[in-house]
Chain A
Amino acid sequence: MKALALAFTLARRELRGGIKGFRIVLACLALGVAAIAGIGSLSRAIEDGLARDARKLLGGDVAFALVHRPASAAELAWLAERGTVSTVADLRAMAYVDGNGAAPAEPGKDRLLVEMKGVDARYPLFGEVEAEGKVFDARALADALAAQGGKFGAFVDPLLLTRFGVKRGALLKIGSIQIEIRGTLEREPDRATRLFTLGPRVLVSEQALAATGLVQPGSLIYYQHRLRTAAAISPAAAIAAAKTAFPAAGWRIRGTAEAAPGLETFLTRLTLYLTLVGLTALLVGGLGIASGVKAWLDGRTGTIATLKCLGAPAALIFRVYLIEVLVLAGIAIVVGLAAGTGLPLLLAGPLEALLPVKLEISVYPLPLLLAAGFGLLTVLAFSLWALGAAREVPPALLFRSTVAPVEARPRRYYLVATVLSATALAALAILTATDRFMAGLFVAAVIGTFALFQGGAAVITRLAKAASKSGTRRAILRFALANLHRPGSPVARIVLALGLGATVLVTIALLEGNLDRQLREQLPERAPSFFFIDILPNQVAAFDAAVKAVPGAAGLERTPMLRGRIARINGVPVGRAAVAENVRWALDNERGLTFAATPPSGSEVVAGQWWPADYSGPPLISFDANLAEGMGLKVGDTLTFNILGREVTATIANLRKIHWRSLGINFTVIFAPGALEGAPHSHIAAVHVPPRAETALLTAVTDKLPNVSAIRVRDALDQAAGVFEQVGFAVRATAMVTLAAGLLVLAGAVAAGHRRRVYDAVVFKVLGATRRRVMGAFLIEYGLIGLATAIFAAILGAILAWAIVTQVMNAPFALLPQTAAGTALIAAAIALAFGFFGIWRAMGQKAAPLLRNE
């Protein structure tokens, strides 16, 4: 205890010397901690915002979702006994400008796919609708949308007005009625995300929706019955009772814990990726910490030797400097945490425009604690070695004329402690990750990358040595090469730090490039031009005829469709069935079902046999081979589907490998003829036409069949590309933090070498070298380091991107050499610029004062 008190006293005295030489360490640490704390806090601020608004987002305490059909009278009566029920129906429909609206400038511009929502008079149960700069509760909304002068009203997305070039008061034709635009819709309390939509929103009353005539058996309509439970009934009890009362209803029941499940999953994933990128920044900063702590301790060699001469045991020396490092690191961590806490505040504006909720700005201890833990372990992992070496400083140094740093080798104990800290860091990263497999891969990739760059640095040093020995006559080149392989050369540090940052950037650039290529170039080539949905069985002939009449229309693919949920796997209810996590999604929602006599294109049977075209017998299905594997199913097993409230059990006749990326019409489940023909269903169709005929196709089909909705694939892909762009921005911004950490390390290396550079520059000047010559040598040195780093980063980044694209995304990989090389070379140019800055400072030194001191 006494020894510890003495260590604290000495550390306190030592710290009076200030933080000079420790600034880079502090900056590296603060930056990494800020990135992790910021991402964690932001994620929590969104999550808490979602939790706070969960009832608004869900639309009630409990929501019952059905597809194709609303709840039956019995079901609705049961719900009404337990509280207030509000019903909302969502569907896609074609809207046409009509009546006194301006005539379209171009053919086909008078119609648009819209996301229509019909609400009853109790909507919204929670929160308010914002439209026309005003706030509407249920009663006000019902009044605003009610029929006036024989016309129903609608609130619409402002985008719709822009697309049609109309104003408030214009008439839309949807289905068989005219609807008056009563205002622009600004916010729906229950809209989970605005990131991806196929068309602008049109909000109408349920009476208006019924009047359109679009509600037909088999139409793709999503119904939600939201329940605001009566005071005496808990939502959990209502959910449990509903399951017991209507086990075969086939509805998806969600409580407030699952208010926005898709968004939450997306955020969880994004948070994980961003945290890992932030951790990379911290690790890159760790290199700066390692070299910074070493340089800082080197500057204290004299003091350490003096203390040892005066009788300080080595353990005391270690304790004193460990305390100092931890105190300074603590300050940096606190600064980082403060900056991280501020991030949600900074990003609240732009994020709230994209997300359905306002961020819950607060101080979140858990992410801060995690970031501090990462920071502390990074400091330990990267400084224990140097601290262990410091305790070995021989006091005999003091008898020499100059006290120069020595390369003492720490004891084995410190190597073990370093490895333990690094292991704890990896364990923390993996154990706190939402996806441990992914985090484990990350740790493995980091270890591999460290090893590769360390090896790369050794190769550079060796090559430089070999090149020096080969006896180049050019003094500049010789000097530059010598700098690369002299003892204590910063090559390894710079290559590793800059290389890690550059690798992350190259990887991300290649991932984005590949995604972009998929979305903008490859998919559109093969993808159909339009999907048409809600073609009723009695419209099939008319539809086919309309399509065929359009010149250039080809590749018409049409198939019946209805939706149903998987209720049981081999008789076991899905809630109790053991399935792999990666196929759980298929059980959470309704699946599209179809029936066919012959095998579809875009997939191949990999197990079992396709049924005869004239099959008639007990229900058989063809199932997706991937899902079957995840659910542990094989040919001969059974799946029970809930279709429109009826349960249908079918035997798996065969498994198919589905080529989803063909963007044709593919179904995970195909029934053999006989089981589903009688159920209400509609048809879905994909049509290829040349771009110039797209409008003609759209008008030909929708003029004839106004209830049929057309989805332009190009628009959907553009939407998806837009989403990726926004996500990509977040990833890029975090990756830039990694590069910034790399630059800090580089700055540290340049600063550490500054004294030597000044000395070299002065000696060169004395010997008659011109500035240009000296600059040339230094530029070659940093140019070579930068170039080599760029090459390593480009190769490694390409390998990582290839692994992610082909193994995780299951997509073909394109190398995009320009993207890889360009990104890596930018990193090299930055190295050159930094090196140049250091040399420029060195060149400014006057020779005389330095020579007098030597």
Chain B
Amino acid sequence: MIRLSGVQLTLDSLAGPVHILRGIDLDVADGETVAVVGPSGSGKSTMMMVIAGLERPSAGKVEVAGADLGALDEDGLALFRRDRVGIVFQNFHLVPTMTALENVAIPLEFAGRADAFAAAKKGLEAVGLGHRLDHYPAQLSGGEQQRVALARATAAAPRLILADEPTGNLDGDTGAQVMDLLFQLREKLGTTLILITHDRNLAGRCGRIVRLADGHIVGDERAAGAANILAAAAQ
């Protein structure tokens, strides 16, 4: 599903070049759930942006869901995301002038689907917001907003879900509910999930944990070894 080969990302700054990713090699299989952990500034979000085609690496190759991202132009990447990737952000990033239903329908509308609104309605019902279809983001609680975002990310049945600290702006209980929903939806769709989190319990729910530090992958363990990586991260 995902293959990163020797991915590097270096940005220029006034103080000189900043090396954010320093040679990442990562293979993620179809349907796998991967937690990405690591300290702030370790390159987690940047790696996710590279996988989403939002950032181009300075070196290396990125293949996602059968697409070589290096070969796609800006609009090609937009279409790639539209058709194959769902993204959930820490800050929800709903469009404030659109209702919950419209927010969920956007990617389907972009794809030109005639049933965009019917599918969006189903998606919202699936996250328990069937009664909030016409509410604007400002009229929803944080948890509800993130559930709308989940519905939006999964509405087009993407092959890959990228979630960047989706519970970071939510209280514990609400966060847990949202994550339950995320895993349920993923299960249902059989989608690959990449989840950035600082929450050890949450990471533990994934089948694989990848640890980043200073732009390198410093740990990569599957289900059984996941606990050890978390213990190391805690230290």
Contact = CB atoms under 8 A, between A and B. Distances in A.
A309 B52 contact: yes
Contacts of B97: 13-17, 303
Nearest to A397: B54
Contact of A17 (B83, B96, B111): B96
25 contacts: A2-B112, A13-B97, A303-B97, A306-B93, A307-B106, A308-B78, A309-B54, A310-B81, A310-B87, A310-B107, A310-B152, A311-B79, A311-B81, A311-B82, A311-B110, A311-B111, A312-B78, A312-B106, A313-B75, A313-B79, A314-B78, A315-B75, A396-B54, A396-B55, A399-B48
Interface in B81-101: 81-83, 87, 89, 91, 93-98
A790 B74 CA distance: 47
Interface residues of B, number: 33
A278 B102 CA distance: 43
Interface string A415-450: 000000000000000000000000000000000000
Interface in A347-403: 394-396, 398-399, 401, 403
Contacts of B144: none
Interface in B106-143: 106-107, 109-112
A309 B87 contact: yes
A403 B94 CA distance: 13
Contact of B89 (A14, A394, A399): A399
Contacts of B93: 302, 305-306, 309, 398
Contacts of B45: 399
B185 interface: no
A306 B94 contact: yes
State the majority secondary structure of interface residues on A.
helix
A305 B87 CA distance: 12
A303 B75 contact: no
Contacts of B109: 6, 9
B91 A398 contact: yes
Nearest to A306: B93
Contacts of A312: 78, 82, 106, 110
Given A315-B75, A396-B49, A310 B102 contact: no
A426 B91 CA distance: 46
Contacts of B81: 309-311
Instruction: Place the interface of chain A in its size category.
Output: 20 to 34
Given A309-B87, A395-B54, A13 B78 contact: no
Nearest to A18: B97
Contact of A313 (B46, B78, B112): B78
Contacts of A313: 74-75, 78-79
B125 to A, nearest CB: 20
A311 B48 CA distance: 16
A15 B95 CA distance: 12
Nearest to A13: B98
Interface in A259-288: none
A10 B103 CA distance: 11
Contacts of B94: 306
Given A399-B45, A399-B164, A303 B52 contact: no
A396 B82 CA distance: 15
Interface in A8-33: 9-10, 13-17
Interface string A815-851: 0000000000000000000000000000000000000
A611 to B, nearest CB: 84
A308 B91 CA distance: 16
Most buried by B among A16, A307, A312, A315: A312
Contacts of A396: 49, 54-55
Contacts, number: 79
Contacts of B75: 313-315
Contacts of B46: 399
Nearest to B152: A310
Contacts of A302: 93
A303 B96 contact: yes
A173 B64 CA distance: 108
B110 to A, nearest CB: 5
A9 B78 CA distance: 19
Most buried by B among A2, A9, A306: A306
A308 to B, nearest CB: 6
Interface in A296-349: 302-303, 305-316
B102 A13 contact: yes
A307 B95 contact: yes
Interface in B55-75: 55, 74-75
A309 B81 CA distance: 7
B49 A399 contact: yes
A15 B49 CA distance: 30
A394 B152 CA distance: 20
Nearest to B81: A311
A312 B89 CA distance: 17
Contacts of B82: 310-312
A394 B46 CA distance: 13
Please give me the 6 A-B residue pairs with the lowest Cβ-Cβ distance, nearest first.
A311-B82, A396-B54, A17-B97, A313-B75, A399-B45, A16-B97
B107 A311 contact: yes
Nearest to A317: B78
A302 B137 CA distance: 14
B52 A310 contact: no
Interface in A655-709: none
Nearest to A304: B95
Given A310-B87, A396-B55, 18 more contacts: A6-B109, A13-B97, A13-B102, A302-B93, A306-B94, A307-B106, A309-B54, A311-B79, A311-B81, A311-B82, A312-B78, A313-B78, A395-B54, A398-B91, A398-B93, A399-B45, A399-B49, A399-B164
Contact of B110 (A6, A13, A315): A6
Nearest to A315: B75
Interface in B25-66: 45-46, 48-49, 52, 54-55
Contacts of A314: 74-75, 78
A315 B83 CA distance: 18
Contacts of A309: 52, 54, 81, 87, 93
B147 to A, nearest CB: 16
A206 B13 CA distance: 94
Contacts of A311: 78-83, 107, 110-111
A315 B74 CA distance: 11
Interface string B186-222: 0000000000000000000000000000000000000
Given A398-B89, A399-B49, A310 B96 contact: no
Nearest to A399: B45
A307 B96 CA distance: 12
Most buried by B among A17, A303, A307, A310: A310
A310 B109 CA distance: 10
Nearest to B82: A311
Nearest to A392: B74
A411 to B, nearest CB: 11
Contacts of B52: 309
A306 B55 CA distance: 15
B218 to A, nearest CB: 21
A403 B98 CA distance: 19
